[in-house]
Structure formats: C-alpha cells, structure tokens
Amino acid sequence: MKTLILGLGNSILSDDGIGINIAHELEKIRPPLPAEIREGSVAGLSILDEIDGYDKVILIDSIKTGKNEPGSIYRLKPEDFNSTSQLSNSHGIDFFAALKFGEKFGYILPKTIDVYAVEVEDNTTFNERCTSKVEASVSKLVQEIVRSLR
C-alpha cells in the first residue's frame, strides 16, 4: 500500500507549524515508517497534486474551533469537512470541496484519508515555536500515528 504522511502548515506562524513539526518527528523514527513523509504549506486545490496516486494519506494540520483546549487532537475523515468547518488556513476552498473537484477532474485519490488536527492557541504570531499547550500534544500524536501504521 502506497502511503503518504503530509504535515501541513506554516512553520513561522507559531502553532500553525504543528503539522510540519510532527512530520519532522515522524521522520526520526527507526526503523522508518512504511510511508513517505513530506511537509508542505499547501491547501485548497493544491493539495490534490500532493495526494494524487496514493492509496492512503495521513494529513496533519492545525485547526481552530475554539471548542476545546489548545493541544486537543482530532481524528477526522473527509466527510467531516464542509465550508463551515475547515482546517485553519486562509485559503478559499475547503478540503472536502477540493476532493470533490479532484474526483471530477480525474485525480487518482486515496481510498483512505485520515486527518489529524491539533487545536491551536496562536496561529498568527511570527514564531518558529508552537505554544506550550500545542507542543505538549506532539509526542501523543506521533505515537497515535505510529500505532495506526503498524
């Protein structure tokens, strides 16, 4: 099974970099995980080019719902996304809509897509470090992803 782990975000906007930070931690695991691990600052339709051709994709990103404590971890499926509930970015198209476009335009989309999102506290301050509450979720989420792959 061809698997991609894609950490998303902006590594210079405090908590928005959590997906990238987790991807970096996953790359350190030995023996290596049975997946390609990448990072990116993509969203909207651009995500289709990243996930095209994979059987399984694990996306890791930040989310800002304001409903739970910063550092809370969500495990979501594409069906959980709509125009009122999207990952915390400033792009104009949500994840679910991008997948629908991908299907329509012939992308070979993964049969399995898991989205891990971490509730953020601050995703607007220029800082290469996450806030302490968000940083505290890193090891827990790394362990959860490793378990899901083994």
Q: Which domains does the chain have, with CATH numbers?
A: 3-149 (3.40.50.1450)
| Segment 26-50, tens digit of pLDDT | 999 999 999 999 999 987 889 999 9
Report the predicted TM-score, pTM, of the whole model to 2 decimal places. 0.88
Per-residue model confidence (pLDDT) at position 65 = 92
**pLDDT at residue 86 tops 50:** no
Give the C-alpha distances (Å, rounded to integers) separating 91 from 22, 34, 43, 45, 88.
Answer: 22, 31, 7, 9, 9
Confidence at residue 92, expressed as pLDDT on a 0 to 100 scale: 58
Q: Compute φ and ψ for 119, nearest 5 degrees.
A: -65, 125
pLDDT at 82: 64
